[in-house]
Amino acid sequence: MEKIRVNLGDENSHNIYIGYPLEKIAENLKFEIFGNKIIILSDKNVFSLYGENLKKNLKNTGKKIKEIVIQPGEKQKNLKTVLNIIEKLLEFQVNRDDLILNLGGGVISDIGGFVASIYMRGIKYGNIPTTLLSQVDASIGGKTGINMEKGKNLIGSFYQPVFIYIDLKTLSTLPYREIKQGLSEIVKYGVIKNKDIFEKLEKIQIEELEENFEYLVKESIKIKVNIVEKDEKEKKGLREILNFGHTLGHGIEISNLKRFSHGEAVYLGMLGESFISYKKGICDIDIYKRIKELGEKFNFLTTYEKINIEILVNFLKYDKKIKKEKLRFVLPEKIGKCKIGVEIEEQEIIRILKELKNAEKN
Ligand SMILES: NC(=O)c1ccc[n+]([C@@H]2O[C@H](COP(=O)([O-])OP(=O)(O)OC[C@H]3O[C@@H](n4cnc5c(N)ncnc54)[C@H](O)[C@@H]3O)[C@@H](O)[C@H]2O)c1
Ligand SMILES: [Zn+2]
């Protein structure tokens, strides 16, 4: 168990509780400071696993507990869902002192945080992230949002939760496919900032992941918190380092719609970007090889075989509305250290990635 403080100035500072049991939340947090209602927002999958127990425990706070349960999935991140949730909050006569409790993955914390930021000009919310991705990434940092047809997260706000409460045991019901979503972000944290995380992953096998979640989640969170504290609203460009693997990754994700999950795409992105880094003389080929070996061990796709490089780079250009045909990358120098803002011409990226594809065959 560990408590990490996120320091953001009076109003927005809050604690992250890592490795605390869900069934003791009422004892562990001070609910007195909130109004007389707690509204649990969750999706069907998560609520059926953890909802009733959470409700039972929260009753110890003496408050009225209500739930809003939505369908699972990224598709729910839209305005219609937001309006439906707001209708429910009005029906429950939720007022500004009450608390919304987001129980679920990144979809739930993104929607719930956004609703909290606009309902009655802002009410308090807490996150109980139940996916590895939301524990190490989505539930932290105060970015909330929903999607539009034209793209992801086009509507949103910066709005911090009042606490984040993580019970690592919830990961025991999460399918491995979803574990990988978080795992690729953890590998990213290792490459950009903390070689110990990376080396830990190199040492362990898939079966040993669970016993290492506490360490991996805690160390990953520390990295994200540190960056968010320095650049909460993304004004200083410090959050850019978190984009390692995400420049190519994002392109792979959108150009191959539905073929690759975010985590799979980011993993390929990290491989491509570390190969680019090697070709630009910024790091040794070893970095690429180590990330690849790690990916193979944890069952990620680790080859560009099925990716059309021209289409991918075109998507990147279009998406970033690039002017001078240059793309910006975060490139590793060694495990634990990266260079940000490296600009490379589109044609050079195409050439290097084609070379990578050829090299994979040998
Ligand atoms: N705000 C941010 O800073 C930020 C950062 C990264 C990602 N995100 C967002 O996060 C979202 C992805 O989050 P996600 O990967 O957590 O997806 P998710 O919330 O859709 O959860 C994935 C699936 O796992 C199920 N699930 C959740 N917890 C479970 C558990 N403990 N046991 C069994 N099943 C469980 C869910 O019902 C869902 O079907 C995306 O919308 C993305 O844009 C936001
Ligand atoms: Zn990501």
Tell me: the pLDDT tens digits for 224-235?
Answer: 999 999 999 988
How large a percentage of the chain has pLDDT more than 70? 98
Tell me: the pLDDT tens digits for 187-231?
Answer: 999 999 999 999 999 999 999 999 999 999 999 999 999 999 999
- Contact by Cβ (8 Å): 68, 98: no
- Contact by Cβ (8 Å): 247, 328: yes
- Contact by Cβ (8 Å): 105, 136: no
Which SS3 state, helix, strand or coil, does residue 328 take? strand
Q: Cβ(43) to ligand 1 under 6 A?
A: yes
How large a percentage of the chain has pLDDT more than 90? 90
pLDDT reading at 172 higher than 70: yes
Mutation to probe ligand 1, out of 75, 102, 107 (largest number of atoms < 8 A from CB): 107
pLDDT reading at 175 higher than 60: yes
Task: Please tell me the distance between residue 133's alpha carbon and the centre of ligand 1 in angstroms.
Answer: 6
- Contact by Cβ (8 Å): 91, 105: no
- Cα 33 from Cα 256, distance rounded (Å): 47
Tell me: the pLDDT tens digits for 116-154?
Answer: 999 999 999 999 999 999 999 999 999 999 999 988 899
Which SS3 state, helix, strand or coil, does residue 233 take? coil
pLDDT reading at 323 higher than 60: no
Domains with residue ranges and CATH for the chain = 2-174 (3.40.50.1970), 177-361 (1.20.1090.10)
Mutation to probe ligand 1, out of 22, 42, 44, 45 (largest number of atoms < 8 A from CB): 45
If you average pLDDT over residues 323-328, what whole number do you get? 78
Q: Which atom of ligand 1 is nearest to the CA of 107?
A: 19
Task: Please tell me the distance between residue 319's alpha carbon and the centre of ligand 1 in angstroms.
Answer: 24
pLDDT reading at 83 higher than 80: yes
Give the predicted TM-score (pTM) of the model: 0.97
pLDDT reading at 179 higher than 90: yes
Q: Which of 243, 209, 82 is nearest to 154 (CA)?
A: 82
Q: Which of the four pLDDT bands, split at 50, 70 and 90, describes residue 255?
A: confident
pLDDT reading at 280 higher than 60: yes
Mean of all residue pLDDT scores within the chain? 95
Host H or E run for residue 236? none
- Cα 293 from Cα 289, distance rounded (Å): 6
CA 225 to chain centroid, in Å, comes to: 13
Q: Which of the four pLDDT bands, split at 50, 70 and 90, describes residue 14?
A: very high
Nearest CA to ligand 1 atom 26: 46
Q: At what angle do helices 346-361 and 309-320 cross, to 10 degrees?
A: 150
